[in-house]
A and B are shown apart, each in its own frame.
Chain A
Amino acid sequence: MLKNPLLKEAQAKIEAGVQDRDAFSRIVQAGQKVMYDQATFAELAKGLKDAKDPVTEIAEGMIGILGILYKQSRKTMPIPPMVLAGMALLLDALDFAERAGLVKIGKAELNKATTHYLNSLLPKFGLTPEKMDGMLGQLGGTMKDPAKLAQIQGGQ
């Protein structure tokens, strides 16, 4: 599905860290359904094409979509798979934007998008990297360790 090799590699690493695979898959599918729905997409595209910084705009868009899903689940959605599914959706959206010719995604752009995503998302759920530690297991450790985070973001 993803064309960009850097994004593909990052996606494989995220999926490798998923514990609740079923929930993760369901959230990704639901997210894609929302994202590529004609009406929702029209709104996303509007913001995207006029954006001065499309990468940050995409990350913001993903947070918005996760918010919609979380609300629809009446706040019952499990947070750890949701955060990882959001990350997978973010990679999907970045790949989409690159294929559309809107932006070129390299390591810097990927780093910027994931950092913005995590920094904006976690406080919304009252989470800190420390609290995420236990919840996400491997990913929590990764988030606390900049070198490891860079490894995910850079696909190294």
Chain B
Amino acid sequence: MGLLNSIGQGLSQAGYAAGDIFAKQAAAEQSSIMELERQKRLAEFQAELKNAPLKRYGAILKDEAGKDVTEPGKTEVIDAPSEFIGGENAGIENAKGLINTPPTTRKRTQDEAMTAANARAMQDDPEAYAEYESRIGKPLREERKIDEAAARSERDAKQRADAETRRAADAERKDATQRYIADLRSKDAEKRLEALIAKTGKSSDGTKEALNFIDGVRKDLANEASNLQRLYQADLKDKGKTAQAKIKAEYDPKFADISAKRQQIENDFSALREKVGLPASAPRAPAPAPKPAASGRPPLDSFFKK
């Protein structure tokens, strides 16, 4: 019996010990589950705290965006027919008056709401404003700057390309002008014009383009003549008679050359105009008639010996 008791007692103690082990195991498991949950909540809470200022800024922005803006009414001066007046002075009298339109109310625009929210956050919640600035405001401005720089760069590149195209076209025109002027030495005007028409012609036979071209060359030569004249006058200034004679001798061939070229071009221009059925050269305005003397007497030059 004593043995059985001892065995029973032993088994009972073993059972308690096993129960204790299981209980400790369960508590440890529970504890590790709790620790895991705690870690999760900690991560969530840290993220929430990090976003809290921005959320507060968002709440301010939402509040400001919901506000209305009242714009004052406009006062307009009118000057309009107002009244019909009968009797002797029958007619409509114009009256001046004022039209007062009432103030209008509208919702804030996004930009207005942002401006208002920034001002409010700066004063009431600097932390929220700082968070907005660092996470949205500044990057947004940087992004805009990059976009603007890209647009500017694209615009500059296009301008450069356009300028280059213009320069090339100018160079080509100048080159063609020079070639044409050089060709003027040729006596065979017909051949020269044919070549010019063939060169300038695109879709049509090229006569019109050739006319435009020659017209351009005429203007260039006129400018050249005018420039040469200016240079000549400048060189002559304050010079003695001998020096002036020398300068004149120097310039005369140049003037003669330009004059010959201009004459040749005029001829070409007329020839081309005739070719397309127009009068040889554009009619010039008649020279103004000499003004009669104020007293009605004949002009002075009529007394000169002829």
Contact = CB atoms under 8 A, between A and B. Distances in A.
B52 A49 contact: yes
A29 B48 contact: no
B144 interface: no
B245 interface: no
Contact of A96 (B31, B42, B48, B52): B42
| B contacts with A: majority SS | helix
B16 interface: no
Contacts of A41: 41, 44-45
Interface in A8-48: 25, 29, 32-33, 36-38, 41, 45
Interface residues of A, number: 17
Nearest to B23: A22
Nearest to A36: B37
B41 A36 contact: yes
Contacts of B105: none
A135 interface: no
Contacts of B41: 36, 38, 41, 45, 96
B34 A49 contact: no
Interface in A57-106: 92, 96, 99-102
Contact of A100 (B37, B40, B49): B49
A1 interface: yes
Interface string B1-39: 000000000000000000000000001001100110110
B40 to A, nearest CB: 8
Given A25-B27, A29-B30, A45 B45 contact: yes
Given A25-B27, A29-B30, A36 B38 contact: yes
Given A25-B27, A99-B42, A100-B42, A33 B34 contact: yes
A11 to B, nearest CB: 14
A133 to B, nearest CB: 30
A101 B45 CA distance: 10
Interface of A: 1, 25, 29, 32-33, 36-38, 41, 45, 49, 92, 96, 99-102
Given A92-B38, A96-B38, A99-B42, 14 more contacts: A1-B35, A29-B27, A32-B37, A37-B37, A38-B41, A41-B41, A41-B44, A45-B41, A45-B45, A49-B48, A96-B42, A100-B42, A100-B46, A102-B49
